[in-house]
Amino acid sequence: MENGTISDKKIEEIQDKAATLIEAIPYIQRFNRKVIVIKYGGSAMLDEELKKDVIQDVVLLKLVGFKPVIVHGGGKEISSWVGKVGMKPSFINGLRVTDEPTMEIAEMVLNRVNKSLVRMVEEQGVHAVGISGKDGGLLKVTKKLSKGQDIGYVGEVKEVHPKILLDLLQKDFLPIVCPIGYDDHYDTYNINADTAACAIARELQAEKLAFLTDIEGVYQDSNDPRTLISELTVSEARKLMKDGCITGGMLPKINNCIEAVENGVNRVHILDGRLAHCLLLEIFTDKGVGTAMLSDDAVSADKI
């Protein structure tokens, strides 16, 4: 306010804000009461300020009528605790080699991360319930081998029993899931969080599955940010993997993106969790961010 009147600059600011809200209308209509699964990766969870931004985004999605489900990782924190007890973290094809002591540490760390996310959501005034894949029999697994090799207590999701999630969503809670599950003998298994998110999105026939990670999206050349791919088809993704352009933690992510796209999840995105409010930008604006995974017959990502 200047001398009781609103300055031109202020009016422009208000109009910009209003335009952003108006731009969101078709997206709010499209996703109203729809399930959105957000895979929140460990690498993008390390900065407290960014973490708060992510949680605010998810809370906003909830408050405007979406049904968000968070599936989180915590890989970096698990590795740090494995190191602290004098063991060496080991991965094969992006999956942690999980012997018994590692499994114990992983479960402790993931439960801790889970409750810290619950707390952050609760602080924003939305009720969250933190569960693992053990609760309500949500994730049933079988032992996963990596190209025939035994990598310990690593679980492949065999069945998803979604009742617990459906009940929580119906009662308006925000479910937060950590990627641990039982096998048929009730032994505990470590599940890659991307795999858990994909299995849940698939079972719930989610409208969207968004992977928040620590990189802009998928690069054609993993060392060159100028080669960011904004739309990637399933066959292009398979070729990139075959050519060795996708390595480490991006491998399970891409495999899970493919699986989700091929099994009825409408929109699958890899987003940069380091970019403040990337979720809101992706969902509520015409400007796509990160990499969208498309089925081979989709011509281009349909934003609405």
Binding site for ligand X2W (CB under 6 A): 41-43, 73-75, 78, 95-96, 106, 154, 179, 190, 192-193, 249
In the complex, which residue's CB is closest to ligand ADP? Answer: 249
x/- binding map, residues 58-87, to ligand ADP, per CB under 6 A? Answer: ---------------x-x------------
The two tokens of residue 18 are 């209003």
Smallest distance, ligand X2W to C-beta of residue 106, A:
5
Smallest distance, ligand ADP to C-beta of residue 2, A:
47
Work out which of 69, 78, 218, 292 binds ligand ADP, going by CB under 6 A.
218
* DSSP β-bridge partners for residue 233: 294
246 binds ligand ADP (CB under 6 A): yes
Q: If contact means CB under 5 to 8 A according to the sort of partner, which of ligand X2W, ligand ADP, none does residue 248 touch?
A: ligand ADP
In the complex, which residue's CB is closest to ligand X2W? Answer: 73
Work out which of 249, 257, 283, 293 binds ligand ADP, going by CB under 6 A.
249
Q: If contact means CB under 5 to 8 A according to the sort of partner, which of ligand X2W, ligand ADP, none does residue 156 touch?
A: none
CB atoms within 10 A of CB 151: 20
